[in-house]
Chain A
Amino acid sequence: MEPSEDDGPQPTSGQKGEAPTDHEQLLPELVAHLRDNRTQLRQEWANRITDASLLSSMAPHEIFSEATSVYDNYVEVLETGSVEALQHYAQNLSERIIPQGVETHEVVGIVLLLRDVLARSLFEKYHKDFSLLNRILDAYEPAANRIANTVSVSFVQERERVIRQQQDAIRELSTPVLQVRERLLILPIIGVLDTQRARQLTEQLLSGIRAHRAKVVVVDITGVPDVDVSVANHLVQTVDASRLMGAGVIITGLSSEIAQTLVRIGVDLSKMNTVGDLQGGIEEAERLLGFTVRRAVDANRQED
């Protein structure tokens, strides 16, 4: 069980100028030690994770099983020096734990805890031979740091990927162009309208007009709390551009703030067709297109 007792003096003798061989000799020893004490160290690590109340969003048995995989991967990296497998695993792990609400500091925290737990066990084992301990740590620390680095970077990358994906999703969802009647489109806009979204809105609106051969477009901004002056200008320009394409724009659901902003920038009211709410806007659009909507009951009664 204690091979280090015999191996111990050997590296001490060839200490100088043999650092590479030193590492090569020490790392397998290190790995063997960590493998032998796997159960105990793993348990200690899991305990420390719980003590530090990290990963609070995960169940204890989940923590333990992930801890086991991380531990095995960790030892494997120490042994082979290749972080590829770990990278893959860390990415996979991140994919699983990010939806559970695990934070970056928790991931970095648990990897550093494992590093501490293992370092502590090395201290305990080699504390009698200080120079050996030093060399063991020389071999251990760079590898351990690289692992910590790899795991955190993988986690952050995965998070960023998720964020990008969500941004794309929001961007796609944020300006739907809906056809409600022939030649009548509705664009409901919800949420903050910033410069980028306003530009996107313009693109969607103008290409929507062409794609659907629209004559009237109702832009409903009930869900937009406020806009700044440049976005308000952009909105007015979009209305003008739509007119150049032969489509009238009706804006509905202006908030009082937006109304004030529009007046402050001196918008030409003869160009802006605004109606209070979406229902009124659709009714106005139908009137412009020559539709009349009647309840079926009323229509039947008139015929009788």
Chain B
Amino acid sequence: MPTDKRTERAVQLSVSILRQGNYLIASIYAALDDDELGRFQRELIRQVSEFRSRGVIIDVAALDVMDSFGSRSLRNLAYMARLLGAVTVIVGIQPDVAFAMVQLGMDLGKVHTALGLEEGLVRLDELTGAGRLSPASGPK
């Protein structure tokens, strides 16, 4: 499917997924439309299962808006990764975005969040016992 290949590559331009040990670090550089979000979701989940990752960090620091579809997609992504045995931490939510999300009732549910990439990695270490999978637990 050549068409699919080309579009996958287009997503790659606004999203990067890097592998770091047992973790995957996905950075979103530009606002994604609904299609791109769907492809991003599939690609990330594919990699989680392929590399048997223990943790996923999704960095959304470059986003200055987040709609309800976006936040639902991120939440679903985290739940899917959880089913595959990886904990997801979403990092870099901007102050304005955070408050707008709360005001619009958009909820990340029991997904973990952290301020930035560094904090996110520390959080993942805590949650997975530095790479070892810990029992499922939501944020307290």
Contact = CB atoms under 8 A, between A and B. Distances in A.
Contacts of A237: 99, 102-103
Contacts of B123: 246
B115 A209 contact: yes
Interface stretch (B15-23, B35-43, B48-56, B90-98): B90-98
Interface string B62-98: 0000000000000000000000000000110101111
A240 interface: yes
A210 interface: yes
A44 interface: no
A154 interface: no
A215 B102 contact: no
Contact of A244 (B93, B116, B120): B93
Contacts of A209: 95, 115
Contacts of B99: 202, 206, 237-238, 241
A11 to B, nearest CB: 72
Interface of B is mostly: helix
A246 B91 contact: yes
B137 to A, nearest CB: 14
Contacts, number: 54
A206 B113 CA distance: 14
Contacts of A247: 115
A48 interface: no
B98 A213 contact: no
A187 B37 CA distance: 38
A213 B93 CA distance: 13
Contacts of B139: 243
Nearest to B99: A241
Contact of A207 (B91, B95, B101): B95
Interface residues of B, number: 20
Nearest to B122: A215
Given A241-B98, A243-B139, A213 B116 contact: yes
Contacts of A58: none
Given A237-B102, A237-B103, A241-B102, A246 B95 contact: no
Contacts of A215: 115, 119
A237 B107 CA distance: 11
Nearest to B101: A244
A162 interface: no
Contacts of A240: 102
Interface in B103-126: 103, 108, 113-116, 119-120, 123
B90 to A, nearest CB: 8
Q: Which 3 A-B pairs have the closest CB atoms?
A: A206-B95, A246-B114, A241-B98
17 contacts: A202-B99, A203-B95, A206-B98, A210-B115, A214-B115, A237-B99, A238-B102, A241-B95, A241-B102, A243-B113, A243-B139, A244-B98, A244-B102, A245-B93, A245-B113, A246-B91, A246-B93
